[in-house]
Amino acid sequence: MNAPSNPPETEPGTVPNPHSGRQKGPLEGMRIIDLTSILFGPIATQFLASMGAEVIKVEAPAGDVMRYVQPMRSPGMGGVFMNSNRAKQSMALDLKTEAGLQALKRLVATGDVFVHSMRGQAAKKLGIDYDSMKAVKPDLVYCFACGYDSQGPNADLPAYDDIIQAATGLAAITTLPDGTPQLVRSVMADKISALYLTQALLASIMTQKTTGQGQYVEVPMYECLTHFMMIEHLFGRCFEPPMDSAGYTRVLSANRQTYRTKDSYIAALPYTTAQWQRFLALIGRDELATEDWVNDATQRSARIDELYGVIAEVTSSRTTEEWVTALRRIDIPVTAVNSLEDLFSDPQLQASGLFEEYDHPTEGRLRGTRHPIRSAMPPLPAANAPHLGEHTRAVLSSLGYGSDQIDAMIDAGAAIETAEKNT
């Protein structure tokens, strides 16, 4: 696209930040161009936004599909989407148009990090592969948040949380009583991979700032969750030749469970020798507390399923409150089994202030969670999730596009501007 015919409405390279006025975070001044969708990528970039980075979310004309997942008060502003896209700006472009692609490249030229979650071949066909973006900004940190490592035969297959849970063995060890593999009822693959992505981005940013060099970064969900799973489950396969099969026996124990009480359920975990001795004394099993195998950590580990069975035999004799009181008195880890709704009245979470309420200009009163880490850098205040294309005009203007050009792009469908704005 030719140089703008109209003078820019803001200084080129700057974007009016709708979250200005907050205290500065450690990533203040970093600009991240975010072409990710669903949850894997957006969770990671939201972590960086919570640290002060400016995150510009570039969406397709239809928007991130998570926008439309219920519940929602207005179209395109679903609760899950807002929980994973706070403190971002939204720019909507049709990258299949030349005007939309050139606008993205102008934006990338002003950024520090570019992260996308398209499949590799699709990104190359579109012209947003690493070589293309590096030509725009040589010191760019380019991050590919993908399903599978690019060196493997699955490199260009689609991947979602359920698929990755099944592929990594997580479903196989989370079975129903009849042995049917079961998915964990949380988007574990997305969220765990998001932590790896956050770590990778932070390390790359540090390298960029200390060396002045950019780099290509690849974060594959399948390999990330497999790495996460096999930290303990490599088990006997840690050794060559193997000393045992894969699978940490304590965690896979049939009797490792929540335990039925008189009125509900608890989780209890005597772990050290002293804790087992105190627990067995509490339930009147002094003879078992003196057994050599109970008092030797290695032997106890080999027979841990028997001890978990002892817990299961006695927990129905008391109420949950009685067990929690008795076990905490002798310093045994224990908790009632909370429902999701129980968390909102949990005294610990109320005291730590994990849940926070805030007002959204169009969506009303909302509840979210603050970043849970405490440090010398206080967490940034609550910030809003953007409407689709809410900041399209402001971002384009900052890149040197004049009003007439922006109007022409919007009229042609190369850019999308929302009718709803956070004011």
In a domain, 252, yes or no: no
| Whether residue 218 is found in the same domain as residue 290 | no
* Whether 327 contacts 276, CB under 8 Å: no
| Whether residue 295 is found in the same domain as residue 411 | no
CA angle 236, 241, 246 (to 5 degrees): 25
pLDDT per residue as tens digits for the range 351-366 = 999 999 999 999 999 9
| Whether residue 203 is found in the same domain as residue 281 | no
| Whether residue 37 is found in the same domain as residue 118 | yes
Predicted structure pTM score = 0.91
Q: Tell me how far CA of residue 388 lies from CA of 20, 25, 203, in angstroms.
A: 20, 25, 30
| Whether residue 332 is found in the same domain as residue 362 | no
In a domain, 58, yes or no: yes
In a domain, 127, yes or no: yes
| Whether residue 299 is found in the same domain as residue 189 | no
Q: Is 320 exposed, middle or buried (0-12, 13-18, 19+ CB in 10 A)?
A: buried
- State which residues form the domain around 292: 259-336
- Separation of CA 248 from chain center: 25
| Whether residue 78 is found in the same domain as residue 198 | yes
Tokens of 146: 């993908």
| Whether residue 135 is found in the same domain as residue 46 | yes
* Whether 225 contacts 168, CB under 8 Å: yes
In a domain, 341, yes or no: no
pLDDT per residue as tens digits for the range 253-263 = 989 999 999 99
CATH code of 217's domain:
3.40.50.10540
Q: Which helix (H) or strand (E) holds 221?
A: helix 221-233
| Whether residue 286 is found in the same domain as residue 398 | no
| Whether residue 57 is found in the same domain as residue 127 | yes
Residue-level pLDDT at 366: 95
Q: Which helix (H) or strand (E) holds 172?
A: helix 170-173
In a domain, 247, yes or no: no
Domain boundary among 336, 370, 390: 336
Residue-level pLDDT at 17: 52
| Whether residue 323 is found in the same domain as residue 362 | no
Residue-level pLDDT at 2: 38
Could you count the other beta carbons within 10 Å of the beta carbon of residue 197? 26
Residue-level pLDDT at 378: 66
Per the structure, the count of domains in the chain is 2
In a domain, 350, yes or no: no
| Whether residue 223 is found in the same domain as residue 277 | no
In a domain, 235, yes or no: no
Domain boundary among 304, 336, 368: 336
Tokens of 397: 């203007």
Q: Tell me how far CA of residue 234 lies from CA of 56, 231, 266, 377, in angstroms.
A: 39, 6, 29, 37
* Whether 275 contacts 218, CB under 8 Å: no
Domain boundary among 282, 303, 336: 336
In a domain, 362, yes or no: yes
Instruction: Using 50 as the pLDDT threshold, list the residues of the chain that sit under it.
Output: 1-13, 16, 18-19, 423
